Structure 1
Amino acid sequence: MKGFLEETLELIVQKHDSLSNHIFILPSKRAGTFLKNLIAQKTTQTSFAPEILSTESFIEKISGLSYASNLEQLFELYNTYLQSKPQEVETFYSFSKWGQTLLQDFNEIDRYLIETKDLFSNLSAIQEITHWSPDAPKTQMMDDYLKFWNNLDAIYQTFKNSLLKNNKGHQGLVYRTATEKLTEYLKTKQNNIFVFLGFNALNTSESKIIQYILEYHNSDIYWDMDSYFMQDSIHDASLFLRSHKKDWNYFKTNNFKGVSNYYNTPKKIEIIGAPKNISQAKYVGNLLRHIKIESPDSIKNTAVILADETLLNPIINSIPKEIDAINITMGYALEKTTLASFFNSFFELYLGNNSKGWFYSNLLSFISHPTTTTLINEKEEDCCSKISTTIKTKNWSYISTSKIKALAPDNVILSELFVDESYTPITFIEKCLHIISELKNIYTSQSNSLALEYLYRFNSLFNQLNTLIQEYNYVNDLKSLLSLYNELLSSETLDFKGDPIEGLQIMGMLESRNLDFETVIITSVNEGILPSGKSNNSFIPFDLKINHGLPTYKEKDAVYTYHFYRLLQRAKNIYLIYNTEPDVLEGGEKSRLITQLLTDENKTKDIKEKVATPIIIPNVKDLEIIEKDSALLELIKEHATKGFSPTSLSNYIRNPIDFYKRNLLKIEDVLAVEETVAANTFGTIVHDTLEDLYTPFIGKLLDAEALKTSKKQISTLVKKHFARTYSEGDITQGKNLLAFNIIIRYIERFVDLEITQLKQNSIKIIGLEQQLRVKLHFPELDFPVTLKGKLDRIDEENGSLRIIDYKTGRVEGKNVTIKNWEKVTTEYSFSKAFQLLCYSIMYNANNPISELQAGILTFKNLNAGLLKFAYQEGKRKSANDSIINQEILTLFTKELKSLVLEICNPNSPFIEKDV
């Protein structure tokens, strides 16, 4: 297959003996590389190579200006904005959010050679109408707002002159200047022949320049379009070319060259739907493997076109190992590297720093970053791990610099990273450059060439920022610096190096201009991506754009349509892959371009549709089974001897695997900073405070007046136990302050409830937080079994013995009422009843009883009073149901024995419950 460039070159070679005086202008540098290679192949004698330029380079040569970077433009525009003396001056950070949009508008205005005075006058009038109210006078804010729009032309002129003064320009200004200097430029090129190849959509500047050269200079132009589309008067693929052919004077006397007849030849077109981006990448990888196996040489003439360039990373990782050479036109985004996340983390660390110290989450994020550990642990092993563990153990929400340095007093790098001084943007950049220098020494010693390449790019980036900030003193805080850093970072890429001609080609839509391949794979053919949709990031309204000849989304869609169909013209094997699961981030529904293909009667015979879904092997979660080997039986025996607690047995009832991991293997929860008081910490503080409050009453009858006096101690006691249980956590603000006051309120309400009950009842405190142990004698086991636990409170109400368990969580009456003894050791919903009966057995073993009552006081529902254990045999509850006597204890002991024997049985494995 001959591509557009090869066919056109053959025609030019036939027409001219030598190409050395030719200047080829193409839409992209990429196409220029392929053209240079073709010229080398076609040339039979030694000669000077022709000049090959991309459009932007050609325009830059004509204008004599150089392109200003985006940040340079933004700084210069802000400088111009300040010169306009606005009533309320916006900070650079705030300005940069809308300044980018204004830059885009200025750029487009210049590229299309719009008369700015009329446009900005119309825009100002529209803004005034939008904010005008006939019934109310204009406010000062409205006056200031409209003043800005009235001054827009002056801002534009000043901004343009500032750039020209430095011999620079944004793209549009370079194009406008090139239009003005064209005749001067052509005088120096009298002996050259200009050849324009493969253009489509042209802005007004490009159109005027090309038309002038075609009419008044030795030149030629070749379009890349199929007659199938040129003959269709409404097809968007040829929208611009039909317009050029009709409107340009040149074509009234010259042929319209470059129109081919390939599109309607037989093709193999597959339209494949795949769910989400990763599935698309995996499908492409699988497709490439088949192509390589079936026809190894065809890979050299295969291109993967990424409509959504964020797919580059997953596509690279999906390339099969059978393909040994690939060429990637796009660069790898610098913001996706580990160093980018490291510096972002460093910025966040200092932005979150305040008078209280470093916020723990920012600090832990920075300390745990691989680059940080490389930097700090170079001098001291496991320093980062030590700091992280200490912060979590001591529960520090904010950490002072002195605390950090105390953990590693001899680590110089650590001392340099964490300082209390307030950084200016310039000193912060200097700090970043110093870090880069330290990392360079480490990576050099490790011979880590890839990391050094990343480091070099970040060194250049920070130096560029440093130069700009020193030239323009508008960036005065780290927040603005971070915004600038991210702006610069987002446009930086790491270029892949390789032979651009050989191997599989991976490129974006724009890089594919002028290039042809036998096999074309296009990904993300979805609405909002291909074409990109009706996004309109501009201050200029749609109607005003139409009136002044500026492009709208209609023209933008036509550009995408041209590129799409141009890729299909000469290709023989076409694979169009779209995402079947549209969402906001990954594009909308299947692209209209696919629908357009499917409705083309001349192409339907070539098209095959399918949906490619990954082979899904149902991940049926098998319940985990732990067989009891000798080691595990030894653990069980050890645990039984030390003592089963009601909580550990409840864990077993809920899920034997939880009991195995938590109580036998002692696997604790991951250590973390408790930024806000956790539920278990909350409960511990309540229990400890009540113990201190009621200890003076042990062995005595409660007295209402004494309780009223004790209430005064509640706040002090809660603060004391917060300090002990919540380590060094902060309770002076936020949710922790709320928790502190809630605990005080809970305990005050509890004491008030007791005082109310004392009006009609006598209550005697027998014990508080008593540690009890009892040996259970089971002949079936050859080792002792102990039941242990802590009883929150034992008292007598009107002579009746009561065991009380405090709960800060929600408990209901149904949780402590049983009707079937078997369920008490098999269903977790009765765990509260189970625990109360365990406490009753333990108390009875040490102090035999005739009867007692056991219940739960839940602080979330104190008004419900004591929720008493009850064994309900009939349909209706009675007062006797809540009495625990020896008969009840015997019945429960039987169930408890069955549970313990099951745990200790070597032939009964731990089987996971689906909870």
Structure 2
Amino acid sequence: MTSFLEDVIVDLQNQALDISEITFILPSKRAGFFLKNHIAQRTTKTNFAPEILSIESFVETVADITYATNTELLFEFYEAYLSITEKDNIEPFEAFTKWAQLLLQDFNEIDRFLISPDSIFNYLGAIKEINHWSLNQEQTSYVKNYISFWKRLPILYSTFKNMLLEKRKGYQGLVYREAATNLEQYIATKPKVRYVFVGFNALNKAEEIIIQELLQQDLAKIYWDIDETFINNLQHDAGLFTRHYKNNWPYFKKQPFTWITKNYATPKTIEVIGVPKQVGQVKQIGALLNQLQESKKSLSNTAVILGNEHLLIPLLNSIPEQIDTVNVTMGLPLRSIPMAFLFESLFKIHKNAKPNIYYKDVTAILSNSYIKPLFSEGSKNYADALISHIQENNIAYLSLSTLNLFSPSHSELFTILFGSWNNTAQTAIHNCTQLILLIKEHLQKQATKSVIDMEYLYRFNVVFTELQNLNTTYPHINSINALFGLYKEIIANETLDFKGEPLQGLQIMGMLETRVLDFETIIISSVNEGILPAGKSINSFIPFDVKLEHGLPTYKEKDAVYTNHFYRLLQRAKRVYILYNTEPDVLKGGEKSRFISQLEIENIHDIKSVVIGPNVKATVSSLKQIEKTDAIMERLKTVASEGFSPSSLTNYIRNPIDFYYEKILGIKPFEELEETIAANTLGSVIHHSLETLYTPIKNQFLTKDYITSLKPLISSTVKEHFKNLFKDGDFSKGKNLIVFEIAKRYVFNFLEKELESINAGNTIKIIDLEASYSTDLNLPELGFPVRLNGTVDRVDEFNGVTRIIDYKSGKVIQGQIEIVNWEDILTDYTKYSKSFQVLSYAYMLHQQNPNCLPVEGGIISFKNLQGEYFLKFGKKESIRGRTKDQLINQDTLDAFFIQLKTLILELCNPNIPFVEKPL
């Protein structure tokens, strides 16, 4: 394949022109590297390299003014706005930036196309006045101010323009307008310079005038890169602009329009691949690159074009490992690198400054990989310790003083991170800069320095230095919100450039960077409507019809630009892979692009179309299985001698793996900070509250008077236990207040039920509360001691019958406390776990007091206190049969012990592994 740039060099050499004396003008800087390489390959003797400029750099030279940065333009524009706006109508800088960006784009378009600004603005002011007419004869002050603003646009434009020209700076359009005006003077100063314009397509009016003038004076040549398929087809947008220049430029009335090629119709392999979702396309690109690598095809003439440039990072992670040479022409936006999330988290805290900081915002900062090491002292990390302290003490909001008290040695760092920024930009910039220096000092102390982390730091230091300079020069950043807006603007436009050899290996680039360049193998992603082409987008105050009237580009022309980029890539390529997303996404493109449909309809090439689904491997869900090693058995013997609790045994019934994690490995479930009171905390509060209320009457009979005397104590008792269990958590408002009131209501309802039972003539004697029971189990088969222990919520005597009571804050029904077949108690956790617990408590009570039988055992469900609030354990003859016996006697315990023994023998059997149960 011979590239377009190579053809240009050959043609110039055939004309015997001295290339070293030519100034080449290209659409982009990137193309200059490739042009210089082709010149070197085609030159047989030593020469000076020619001057190679991008069109923007060339125009800047002609205009003799420099481009201002986008942030500089915003501040200068605000200065102009302040100078012409009455004091009472001035908007703050933060509000101004929201519409100023759009207006700057319109100024840019107007100047690039050399349109009279007064013509546009007067038209625009008249439209706004019509759109905002009022039924009232007299317009309101708001309507008058609104219309007045649009009528002042010509003055605002003129003031802004003059302010910039005085400083010899400008936005792109202003630089282009000045270049068109200054062209004759520029030519006069450099009459012998010869220019070659290479590979242009969509020119603005200023560029047209500059190039035409140089052509007319025989100071320039221009090489178009257009195929006859496009320029001869009047309906094809790829040739839209070139047809216009060919037909309307006076130069081509006398001079031939050369360089119409016939490359597009040459045989090509074109494959259109539909892939679900954006990341799916990236994975498919990795697969294609792997195929090309395995087929021994060189990737040095291969390019991956990202229609959606946000896919750069996923793509880099998907490139096959064997591809060792990759050149990334697009930079990595600063907003995408890890350090950006640190500063965004800081701004999040300080934008809406409050005395106390939400714990999640604090932990997000402390857990950041750049911040956490700063809190290390020896083997201890105070960031980890503070996070644990927050979780253990349920602290939802923290003050700076609280943080400083926790670790006084880090008070300076805490102040930088969490100290008030006082809603001033200077403090914010100072603190962020100080933080960067602290991170830098830490990284420099490391044995193995992270080069990339130091590069990140340097780039963010540059960002905050720029913000500092802007804040010093322009006194308009009067809030953290305004500063954050500027910060986002800068990091969105700044990139961290990849370093590499631009002419070697696989090329990864965006669509605009492909201008003038040719590759044998092309892979283009995200070829969907809304991405390629971008389609309708209204980023302008100027209406569509006004743009048409004045010759400004609309979305139609912008689509034609992308059409040319797309088809120009295909002209000389031999293998083309076009990927699109088969899953329409409102935010990231719709159905497959019209470019694909056009390729298929024009019937020039044989298009292979496939739709690829994700390569999902069939995975067999294998349950975890842990064999009982000698070490595990030793640990199991220790647990057995210390005692199995009923809850740990039912945990084994539910899922043996959970028992293994908790009892053998000692891994406890992770307990997050309890921002909203959890169900287990509610249950514990109720348990402890009832214990506190009933303890004074232990071993006594309940009386109506005593229960009545407890009611005024409910609120204070529940509150006390909430404070103990909920730590520093707040339950004075919101959901927590509701839970607090529910806890009080549960206790009150329970006392009412007790009172109702006593009024019915029943006698209740409290025997014990939160009583701990323990007993040795006679299991000679094991050869080591086994204990059973547990805590019973309440033991009382009801009408002379001992009752074992387990409190439940959740809902329990009678069917969950009854059994039919004893064997089922070891298999169905959901249905029989409560019966297992009650029977375990009864067994332990009987072992300590053999004369206690018969007893009753059951549940009191605070969420189900209607009817019989004490749900008794019962043995039924059949599922539909009536309960046979609700008294727990010796036969009941003997039958239960058989099942308990079976369970523990299985649990302690070294030949039976811990096998996970399916969910």
* TM-score relative to the length of structure 2: 0.93
Hey, what's the Cα distance between the residues in 2 that align with 1:326 and 1:502? 7
Aligned-pair CA distance for 1:268: 1.5
Aligned to 1:370: 369
Q: 479-488 vs 775-784, which deviates more?
A: 775-784
Aligned-pair CA distance for 1:341: 2.5
Aligned to 1:61: 61
- SS of equivalent to 2:235: coil
The one-letter amino acid of 2:559's match is: D
The one-letter amino acid of 1:634's match is: E
Aligned-pair CA distance for 1:567: 0.6
Q: 335-344 vs 79-88, which deviates more?
A: 79-88
- Asked if structure 2 preserves the Cα contact closer than 8 Å seen for 1:791 and 1:805, the reply is yes
- Asked if structure 1 preserves the Cα contact closer than 8 Å seen for 2:818 and 2:876, the reply is yes
- SS of equivalent to 1:774: strand
The one-letter amino acid of 2:385's match is: K
The one-letter amino acid of 2:729's match is: G
Aligned-pair CA distance for 1:559: 1.1
Aligned to 2:512: 510
The one-letter amino acid of 1:854's match is: G
Aligned-pair CA distance for 1:261: 0.3
Aligned to 2:600: 598
Aligned to 2:497: 495
Aligned-pair CA distance for 1:420: 4.0
Aligned-pair CA distance for 1:667: 0.7
- SS of equivalent to 2:602: coil
Residues 238-249 of structure 1 aligned to structure 2 (within 5 Å): 238-249=239-250
Aligned-pair CA distance for 1:260: 0.4
- Asked if structure 2 preserves the Cα contact closer than 8 Å seen for 1:92 and 1:480, the reply is yes
The one-letter amino acid of 2:370's match is: T
Residues 790-869 of structure 1 aligned to structure 2 (within 5 Å): 790-830=791-831, 831-847=833-849, 848-863=851-866, 865-869=869-873
- Asked if structure 2 preserves the Cα contact closer than 8 Å seen for 1:62 and 1:182, the reply is yes
Aligned to 2:168: 167
Q: 81-90 vs 112-121, which deviates more?
A: 81-90
Aligned-pair CA distance for 1:879: 6.8
Aligned to 1:439: 439
Aligned to 1:485: 487
Hey, what's the Cα distance between the residues in 1 that align with 2:368 and 2:444? 20
Measured against aligned partners, the alpha-carbon deviations of 1:83-134 in whole angstroms (never above 9, x if no partner) come to 4237565433333333322222222222223333333333344444444454
Aligned to 2:529: 527
Hey, what's the Cα distance between the residues in 2 that align with 1:303 and 1:875? 72
Hey, what's the Cα distance between the residues in 2 that align with 1:662 and 1:479? 48
Residues 310-325 of structure 1 aligned to structure 2 (within 5 Å): 310-325=310-325
Measured against aligned partners, the alpha-carbon deviations of 1:2-40 in whole angstroms (never above 9, x if no partner) come to 111111222223235323443322111111222223233
Aligned-pair CA distance for 1:254: 2.0
Query: For the structure 1 residues 637 and 497, does the alpha-carbon distance in structure 2 shift closer, same or farther, using more than 3 Å as the test?
Result: closer
Hey, what's the Cα distance between the residues in 1 that align with 2:546 and 2:906? 82
Aligned to 1:384: 383
Aligned to 1:662: 662
Residues 552-563 of structure 1 aligned to structure 2 (within 5 Å): 552-563=554-565
- Asked if structure 1 preserves the Cα contact closer than 8 Å seen for 2:521 and 2:573, the reply is yes
- Asked if structure 1 preserves the Cα contact closer than 8 Å seen for 2:770 and 2:791, the reply is yes
Query: For the structure 1 residues 239 and 734, does the alpha-carbon distance in structure 2 shift closer, same or farther, using more than 3 Å as the test?
Result: same
Hey, what's the Cα distance between the residues in 1 that align with 2:749 and 2:61? 84
Aligned-pair CA distance for 1:166: 1.9
Q: 778-787 vs 262-271, which deviates more?
A: 778-787
Aligned-pair CA distance for 1:800: 4.2
C-alpha RMSD of matched pairs (Å): 2.7
The one-letter amino acid of 1:70's match is: N
Aligned to 2:914: 910
Aligned-pair CA distance for 1:257: 2.1
Hey, what's the Cα distance between the residues in 2 that align with 1:145 and 1:816? 74
- SS of equivalent to 1:802: strand
Aligned-pair CA distance for 1:412: 6.9
- Asked if structure 2 preserves the Cα contact closer than 8 Å seen for 1:793 and 1:804, the reply is yes
Query: For the structure 1 residues 907 and 168, does the alpha-carbon distance in structure 2 shift closer, same or farther, using more than 3 Å as the test?
Result: same
Aligned to 1:895: 899
- SS of equivalent to 2:736: helix
Q: 456-465 vs 124-133, which deviates more?
A: 124-133
Hey, what's the Cα distance between the residues in 2 that align with 1:599 and 1:871? 78
Hey, what's the Cα distance between the residues in 2 that align with 1:729 and 1:582? 46
Equivalenced residues, count: 911
- Asked if structure 1 preserves the Cα contact closer than 8 Å seen for 2:400 and 2:415, the reply is no
Measured against aligned partners, the alpha-carbon deviations of 1:337-356 in whole angstroms (never above 9, x if no partner) come to 33322333333344465323
The one-letter amino acid of 2:250's match is: N
The one-letter amino acid of 2:74's match is: L
The one-letter amino acid of 1:214's match is: L
Hey, what's the Cα distance between the residues in 2 that align with 1:7 and 1:480? 52
- Asked if structure 2 preserves the Cα contact closer than 8 Å seen for 1:272 and 1:610, the reply is yes
Query: For the structure 1 residues 811 and 156, does the alpha-carbon distance in structure 2 shift closer, same or farther, using more than 3 Å as the test?
Result: farther
Aligned to 2:403: 404
Aligned-pair CA distance for 1:330: 1.1
Aligned-pair CA distance for 1:393: 2.5
- Asked if structure 2 preserves the Cα contact closer than 8 Å seen for 1:351 and 1:478, the reply is yes
Aligned-pair CA distance for 1:644: 1.8
Q: 411-420 vs 367-376, which deviates more?
A: 411-420
Hey, what's the Cα distance between the residues in 2 that align with 1:553 and 1:820? 76
Aligned to 1:185: 186
- SS of equivalent to 1:867: strand
Aligned-pair CA distance for 1:650: 1.5
Aligned-pair CA distance for 1:878: 4.8
Hey, what's the Cα distance between the residues in 1 that align with 2:127 and 2:471? 36
- Asked if structure 2 preserves the Cα contact closer than 8 Å seen for 1:701 and 1:762, the reply is no
- SS of equivalent to 2:115: coil
Aligned-pair CA distance for 1:622: 0.4
Query: For the structure 1 residues 640 and 202, does the alpha-carbon distance in structure 2 shift closer, same or farther, using more than 3 Å as the test?
Result: same
Aligned-pair CA distance for 1:384: 2.5
Aligned-pair CA distance for 1:244: 2.1
Q: 553-562 vs 788-797, which deviates more?
A: 788-797
Aligned-pair CA distance for 1:490: 1.4
The one-letter amino acid of 1:629's match is: T
- SS of equivalent to 1:603: coil
Query: For the structure 1 residues 652 and 136, does the alpha-carbon distance in structure 2 shift closer, same or farther, using more than 3 Å as the test?
Result: farther
Hey, what's the Cα distance between the residues in 2 that align with 1:133 and 1:795? 81
Q: 712-721 vs 258-267, which deviates more?
A: 712-721
Aligned-pair CA distance for 1:161: 2.5
Residues 171-250 of structure 1 aligned to structure 2 (within 5 Å): 171-250=172-251
The one-letter amino acid of 1:773's match is: S
Hey, what's the Cα distance between the residues in 2 that align with 1:136 and 1:800? 91
Aligned to 1:107: 108
Hey, what's the Cα distance between the residues in 2 that align with 1:76 and 1:761? 89
- Asked if structure 1 preserves the Cα contact closer than 8 Å seen for 2:272 and 2:577, the reply is yes
Aligned-pair CA distance for 1:264: 0.6
Hey, what's the Cα distance between the residues in 1 that align with 2:280 and 2:561? 28
The one-letter amino acid of 2:202's match is: A
Aligned-pair CA distance for 1:517: 1.3
Hey, what's the Cα distance between the residues in 2 that align with 1:392 and 1:490? 36
Hey, what's the Cα distance between the residues in 2 that align with 1:254 and 1:551? 28
Aligned-pair CA distance for 1:565: 0.7
Hey, what's the Cα distance between the residues in 2 that align with 1:813 and 1:801? 20
Hey, what's the Cα distance between the residues in 1 that align with 2:353 and 2:793? 43
Residues 136-147 of structure 1 aligned to structure 2 (within 5 Å): 139-147=140-148
- Asked if structure 2 preserves the Cα contact closer than 8 Å seen for 1:643 and 1:785, the reply is yes
The one-letter amino acid of 2:793's match is: D
Aligned-pair CA distance for 1:656: 1.0
- SS of equivalent to 2:95: helix
Hey, what's the Cα distance between the residues in 2 that align with 1:558 and 1:269? 22
Hey, what's the Cα distance between the residues in 1 that align with 2:125 and 2:754? 74
Aligned to 2:124: 123
% identity of equivalent residues: 47
Residues 734-749 of structure 1 aligned to structure 2 (within 5 Å): 734-749=734-749
Measured against aligned partners, the alpha-carbon deviations of 1:782-840 in whole angstroms (never above 9, x if no partner) come to 23332222221223444444332222223233322333332222111222222222223
Aligned to 1:74: 74
Residues 688-707 of structure 1 aligned to structure 2 (within 5 Å): 688-707=688-707
- Asked if structure 1 preserves the Cα contact closer than 8 Å seen for 2:421 and 2:428, the reply is no
Q: 569-578 vs 672-681, which deviates more?
A: 672-681
